[in-house]
Chain A
Amino acid sequence: MFGIESLLVVTVVMPLAAAVLTALFGPRLLRSQSHWPTIVALAISLAASLLLVWQVAQEAEATHTARQNEPVPSAQPTSHSLGYERTLTLWTWTGGGEVGQTALSVQPVQDPLGPPPRIEVTLRIDPLTAIMLATVLTISFLVAVYSVGYMHGDPGYWRFYSYIALFVFSMCMLVSVSNFLLLYVFWEAVGLCSYLLIGFWYQRPAAAAAGKKAFLVNRVGDFGFALGVFLLWLTYGTLNFHDVQTGGQTQPGILGQTFLQQPEQYVGGAVGTAIALLLMAGACGKSAQWPLHVWLPDAMEGPTPVSALIHAATMVTAGVYLTARCLPLFLAAPIGPLVVACIGGGTALLAALIALTQTDLKRILAYSTISQLGYMFLAVGTGTALGVTAGMFHLFTHAFFKALLFLAAGSVMHAMGGVIDIRQFGGLRRHLPWTHTTMLFGCLALAGVVPFAGFWSKDAILLAVGQQEGLVYQVLGWAATATAFLTAFYTFRAFFRTFYGPERIPEETGGHVHEGPPWMTAPLVVLAAASLVVGAYFEWTHGFAHFLAQTPSLCLAGLALEGPRAELVSHSQVALLSTLVVLAGIGLAALLYLGSRTVLEGLTRASAAVGLYGLSYGKFFFDELYQAVVVMPLTGLARLCGWLDNQAIDRAVDDVGAAPRALGALFRSLQVGLVPFYALAMILGVLVLLGALMTG
Chain B
Amino acid sequence: MQHVFEDLFGSAVRIGALWAVAPELVLCAALATMLVVRMLTPRWRHSPFYVAAAGLAAALALVVCWGLPAGSNQIFTGMLVQDGLAWFLRGLVLLGTLVVVSLTALSRTPTEEGYLEFYFLLVGAALGMCLMVSANHLVMVMIGLEMASICSYVLAGILRRQRQAMEAALKYAVFGAATAGIMLYGMSLLAACLGSVHLPTMARGLADRLSGLPHTEGAAAYQSVLLLGGVMFLVGLGFKLSLFPLHFWAPDVLHGAPAEVGGFLSVVSKTAALGLLARLALVLSGSAGLAQTPALGHVVQALEPARQTLAGLLALLAAVTCTFGNLAAYGQTNMKRLMAYSTIAHAGYMIMPVAALLASAGRDTAAAQNALAALLFYAAAYLWMNLGVFGFTALVRDRCGREEIETYRAFGRQSPGVTVLMAIQLFSLVGLPPMAGFMAKFTVFASLWQCGLGALLLVAVLNTVLSLFYYLRVIRVMTAVGEEGKHSEPGHPAMLSRSERFTGESTTGGLSGEKGVEGPGMAPPSASPPGAEAESAPQAAQPELPLLSWAGLWLLVVCVPVVVLGIWWNGLFALAQAAAAASW
Contact status of A685 and B329, CB under 8 A, knowing A668-B510, A673-B252, A678-B175: no
* A139-147, A461-469, A688-696 - the one binding chain B: A688-696
User: A686–B509 contact, CB under 8 A?
Assistant: no
Kindly identify, within residues 300 to 324 of chain B, every residue whose CB is under 8 Å from any CB belonging to chain A.
309, 313, 324
A693 with B227, Cβ < 8 A, contacts A667-B324, A667-B327 known: yes
Interface residues of B (CB under 8 A from A): 171, 174-175, 178-179, 182, 224, 227-228, 231-232, 235, 244-246, 248-249, 251-252, 309, 313, 324, 326-332, 466, 469, 494, 498, 501-502, 506, 509-510, 513-514, 517-522
Specify the chain B residue showing the minimal Cβ separation from A669.
B517
Q: Which of A647-688 contact B (CB under 8 A)?
A: 650, 654, 657, 660-661, 663-665, 667-675, 677-679, 681-682, 684-686
Check A665–B331 contact: CB distance below 8 A. Answer: yes
Question: Pick the contact of B466 from A660, A668, A679, A686 — CB < 8 Å?
Answer: A660
Indicate if the CB atoms of B248 and A660 lie closer than 8 Å: no
Task: Choose one: A650, A669, A684, A685; the contact of B513 (CB below 8 Å).
Answer: A669
Looking across the interface, which residue of chain B has its beta carbon closest to that of A659? B327
B518 touches A671 (CB 8 A): yes
Residues of A within 8 A of B332 (CB): 668
Residues of chain B with a CB closer than 8 A to A661's CB: 330-331, 506
- In the complex, 24 of the A-B residue pairs with CB atoms within 8 angstroms, ordered by the A residue number, are A646-B494, A657-B469, A657-B502, A660-B326, A660-B466, A664-B329, A665-B513, A668-B513, A669-B514, A671-B252, A671-B328, A671-B514, A671-B518, A673-B519, A675-B175, A678-B249, A679-B175, A682-B245, A685-B246, A689-B313, A693-B231, A693-B313, A694-B224, A694-B227
Q: Is the CB of A650 within 8 A of B494?
A: yes
Please report which residues of chain A, range 349-374, place their CB below 8 angstroms from some CB of chain B when the two chains form the complex: none
- Bound complex: CA of A650 vs CA of B498, how far in Å? 10
Which A residues contact B (CB, under 8 angstroms)? Answer: 646, 650, 654, 657, 660-661, 663-665, 667-675, 677-679, 681-682, 684-686, 689-690, 693-694
Min CB–CB distance B517 → chain A (angstroms): 5
Q: B518 near A686 (CB under 8 angstroms)?
A: no
B246/A674 in contact, CB under 8 A: no
Contacts of B231 in A (CB 8 A): 686, 689-690, 693
Please give, as numbers and ranges, the residues of chain B lying within 8 Å of A693 by CB-CB distance.
Answer: 227, 231, 309, 313
Give the chain B neighbours of A678 by CB distance below 8 A.
Answer: 171, 175, 248-249
Instruction: State which of A650, A657, A673 has its C-beta within 8 Å of the C-beta of B522.
Output: A673
Bound-state CA distance A677–B466 (Å) is: 27
Which residues of chain A are near B174, meaning CB under 8 Å?
A: 675
Cα of A694 to Cα of B232 in the assembled complex, Å: 13
Given the known interface contacts A673-B517, A693-B313, the answer about A682 and B331 at a Cβ–Cβ threshold of 8 Å is no
For B249, the chain A residues whose CB sits under 8 A away are: 678
Give the shortest distance, in Å, between B468 (CB) and chain A (any CB). 10
Report which residue of A668, A670, A674, A693 has the largest number of chain B beta carbons within 10 angstroms of its beta carbon: A668
Given A664-B331, A685-B245, A690-B228, A672–B517 Cβ distance below 8 Å?
yes
**Chain A residues with CB under 8 A of B513:** 665, 668-669
Contact B175 A673 (CB under 8 A): no
Q: In the bound complex, do residue B331 and residue A681 qualify as a contact, i.e. CB atoms below 8 Å apart?
A: no
Q: Closest 5 A-B residue pairs measured CB to CB?
A: A685-B245, A673-B521, A664-B330, A673-B522, A678-B248
Contacts of B521 in A (CB 8 A): 672-675, 677
Give the chain A neighbours of B506 by CB distance below 8 A.
661
Nearest-CB residue, chain A, relative to B324: A667
Q: Which residues on the B side are within 8 Å of A660 (C-beta)? A: 326-327, 330, 466, 469
Given contact pairs A679-B175, A685-B244, A665 touches B510 in the complex (Cβ within 8 A): yes
CB neighbours of A667 from chain B (8 A): 324, 327-328
In the assembled complex, the CB of A138 is this many whole angstroms from the nearest CB of chain B, namely: 50
Across-interface contacts of A664 in B (CB, < 8 A):
327-331, 510
Instruction: For the complex, give the distance between the alpha carbons of A672 and B515 in Å.
Output: 9
Q: Told that A664-B330, A668-B328, A673-B252 touch, could you supply 15 new A-B pairs with CB distance under 8 A?
A: A654-B498, A660-B327, A661-B331, A663-B327, A664-B510, A668-B514, A672-B521, A673-B517, A673-B521, A675-B175, A682-B179, A682-B246, A685-B244, A686-B182, A690-B228
Q: How far is the CB of B507 from chain A (nearest CB, A)?
A: 12
A667 vs B328: C-alpha distance in the bound complex, in angstroms? 6
Q: Which residues on the B side are within 8 Å of A686 (C-beta)?
A: 182, 231-232, 235, 245-246
Q: Which of A650, A671, A694 contacts B248 (CB 8 A)?
A: A671
CA distance A677 to B179 in the complex (A): 15
B175 touches A682 (CB 8 A): yes
> In the complex, what residues of A have CB within 8 A of residue B224's CB?
694
Q: Report the separation of the CA atoms of residues A402 and B31 in the bound assembly, to the nearest whole angstrom.
A: 99
Which residues of chain B come closer than 8 Å to A663, judged between CB atoms?
327
Residues of B within 8 Å of A670, CB to CB, are 248
Max chain B C-beta neighbours (<10 A), residue from A661, A673, A675 = A673
Q: Most chain-A CB neighbours within 10 Å: which of B224, B231, B309, B327?
A: B327
Bound complex: CA of A118 vs CA of B467, how far in Å? Answer: 45
Which single residue of chain A is at the shortest CB-CB distance from B329?
A: A664
A671 to B337, CA, bound (A): 11
Give the interface centre of B232, B251, B514 by most chain A CB atoms within 10 Å.
B514
Contacts of B248 in A (CB 8 A): 670-671, 678, 681-682
Q: In the complex, A650→B494 CA distance in Å?
A: 10
Give the distance in Å from the alpha carbon of A667 to the alpha carbon of B252 in the complex.
14
- Tell me the bound Cα distance from A682 to B249 in angstroms: 10
Chain B residues, Cβ within 8 Å of A671: 248, 251-252, 328, 514, 517-518
* Chain B residues closer than 8 Å to A674, beta-carbon distance: 520-521
Q: Is the CB of A668 within 8 A of B331?
A: yes
Which residues of chain A have C-beta atoms less than 8 A from B469's C-beta?
A: 657, 660
> Chain B residues near A682 (CB, 8 Å)?
175, 179, 235, 245-246, 248
B174 to chain A, nearest CB (A): 6
Report the minimal beta-carbon distance from B501 to chain A, rounded to whole angstroms.
8
How far apart are A83's CB and chain B's nearest CB, in angstroms?
A: 55
Smallest CB separation, B172 vs chain A (Å): 11
A679 and chain B: residue at smallest CB distance: B178
Residues of A within 8 A of B519 (CB): 673
* B510: A residues at CB distance < 8 A: 664-665, 668
B189 to chain A, nearest CB (A): 12
Q: Is the pair A675, B331 in contact by a Cβ cutoff of 8 Å?
A: no
Task: List residues of chain B with CB within 8 A of the CB of A690.
Answer: 227-228, 231
Q: How far is the CB of A155 from chain B (nearest CB, A)?
A: 29
Nearest CB in chain B to that of A684: its residue? B245
Bound-complex Cα distance A693 to B232 (A)? 12
Answer whether A681 and B245 are a contact pair too, CB < 8 Å, given A671-B514, A673-B520, A674-B521.
yes
- Taking the nearest CB of chain B, how far is it from the CB of A176, in angstroms? 44
Nearest CB in chain A to that of B519: its residue = A673
Inter-chain contacts of A685 with B (CB < 8 A): 244-246
| Residues of B contacting A689 in the complex (Cβ-Cβ under 8 angstroms) | 231, 313
The reply to whether A673 and B518 contact each other, CB–CB distance below 8 Å, is yes
